[in-house]
Structure 1
Amino acid sequence: MEKSKVYFTDLRTKPGFNMLDKLEKLVKAAGIENIDFKEKYVAIKIHFGEPGNLAYIRPNYAARIVKLIKQLGGKPFLTDANTLYTGRRHNALDHLDAAYENGFNPLTVGCQVIIADGLKGTEYREIEVNLKHTKAAKIGSAIADADIIISMNHFKGHEMTGFGGALKNLGMGSGSRGGKLFMHSSSKPKIKEKNCVGCRMCVRSCAHDAIFLNENRVAVIDYDKCVGCGQCIAVCQYNAAQVNWDEAASIASEKIAEYTYAVIKDKPHFHINFIMDVSPNCDCWSNNDMPIVPNIGIAASFDPVALDKACVDMVNSAPTIKGCAIHDHHDSDLHIEDKFTAIHGKTDWRVCLEHAQNIGIGNMEYELIKV
């Protein structure tokens, strides 16, 4: 199999040539102009960031891509689907407020902002794929109905999949509420009783009334109600709510790959990863921890698998920032070859990439081209 091309630019600038100019030069070098945008609806899949988290992609970058797509004749819109857990992006109204608060609005980005799966996360199209886990994927309507898919992805760690990049943003991020439930359904959390202090944060944050405190003021999960959304893990400050690491995490990763397949099926698509503020956890959290490595740059490709793999390799080759989350688990980084498993020790990010490659999304073998 021929290696996929991944294009990369660092963060060095000079007067008259800023990072927005470098972004445009990068995507043009990677071939974005070869897509026929004329009069096509273009979904720019992005994560607007949970308010309080400051690691998300700056809206300025989105605005430059919007401007370029319009110049090429396309009709772009920024989009994301509602979350499964309770938060500021749980329904379209709050989600739009959160997006606007973080700078993603028609005035700043130059196009409309649309919540892909509607008011309550119930507007979707079923896209038949007939893969290992997924027969038909439930994809947010605005994304499913678009003619072209562009993903803009903040590359960072993730507590379930090891890292989050193009595949995670496209697969999990484009699923309707029912689609997200399907992807999470094999991966329900557990409570480590000795860590629980009875603060009730998990109880208050559960959208499905699946958690309560027992007579000893220890959290208990009602698995008949639990949907595996992971919100209790995100809000627990005492490491009491934890992912139940068994085969379920691998299944969820494979489902994410299959949903990505559905999103880009039979459509032109192009992907951009921002390897900046590489935080240890997802942008769905209402806070972001310090980066684990220095800012690296921006990468782009038609192949989301090669793109994510190249970014993993660049992060793993970068020096670790002293005092970051990696050092919560390791006294020294001298022998750490994989920074993502160093943070999330029972994850295996390779599962999603390998399954994505096996079902024909892309290729883990790549050629990195400096722009």
Structure 2
Amino acid sequence: MKHENRSLGLVNYHSIQYFSRDLKSCVEWHKKTFGFEEIAQSSENWEKRHGMRSVVLRGAGSIGWIITEPIEKNSTAGRYLSTHPDGVAFLNFKVKNLKKTVEFLADKKAAFLYEIENHKSLNDGYWYETAIATALDDVGFRFIEESQYDQFAPGFKWINQEKNKHNSFGLDLGIDHVTCNGRSMHAITEFYRHCLGFEQYWGIEFHTNHHKPDLGTGSGLESIVMWDKESGIKFATNQPLAPYFNNSQIQIYVEDNRGSGVQHIAFGTKNIIDTVSKIRNKGAVFLEASDKYYEQLPARMSAMKLDKIKEPFNIIKENNILLDGSNSKYLLQIFMKEQSVQLQKKEAGPFFYEIIQREGDESFGEGNFKALFDSIEKQQVSENRQEMRERVDSLC
């Protein structure tokens, strides 16, 4: 029997669960680099039951950042990390009505990881949750309906329950988008379309040969952005592009991650210059745009009908911030280097973060997308891959 539910009922992100081999180092890096604060931790009973331990940070936009390490090899985190480097293992979403969400997913033949869990608290609060497998290999999606529940989550005790506290680095706008990589993009985007009811928002494809035609080799990618109109949640997905499929930075990510997965998460800010300055002062490193990018930027701004921006151009260039837009609306963004570089540990993996400031432009600017492509290619492809990995190993 088919139900009439036409929507997944997403509201927003509840939290991100990040699996790490070194809980302490990962927690301290996020606290130092982004000004995240510790708000909860797993209880002894939860740890004994699940064979894992977790610390929860108040992340961007007060979204929970759950850093989890395995205690036992056969735990969920242990099994994930036996295959993959550290990285995002669950995206957790708030929903309006979990019963209706489950009906919607069941109609789409989603693969549920477990039955609905019901939890009550002494103050008449409640917590309902379930989770599904996805087309992103070992990354799962969890759906949560809760009201006045007296813990961060079942089995997690509060350390600091203060809500909606201002982030000292200006990361108050939450998650702008999540980007994933896979060898076959449409296996992922069609999952979003069919199982989650998402629609296409944007798309692009290009190859090194498009702007370096004399180069005898190269890399390429194709990308599609899907979104949920009700919540505004957006997922970008990349796949390698022939004729040099195996040279693609996306293929390199899939090899390094040992499967498809979350490549990066973008944090929104109202003042990217201030945010980036604070992050850089904490020792974080960013991808660098080429000098040619900034030489060509004034002409690109003219073509985009972007007469002026409120940020000083020289400061934008000094900070390697990228600019895109159209018709007087623009966005500014910058990409951090991989966690394996940030933490100086190869097993920290190829996941990275992006910082973005939107001034009316809600697109995924083509010019910046190509600049990111060039920057990652400079790091991952143009250099000898083995030399790059040996350099990372030498930092460990």
TM class by smaller structure: under 0.3
When the two structures are superposed, what TM-score results if normalisation uses the length of structure 2?
A: 0.25
Q: What TM-score, normalized to structure 1?
A: 0.26
- Greater fraction strand: 2
Q: Relative contact order (C-alpha < 8 Å, sep 6+): which is higher?
A: 1
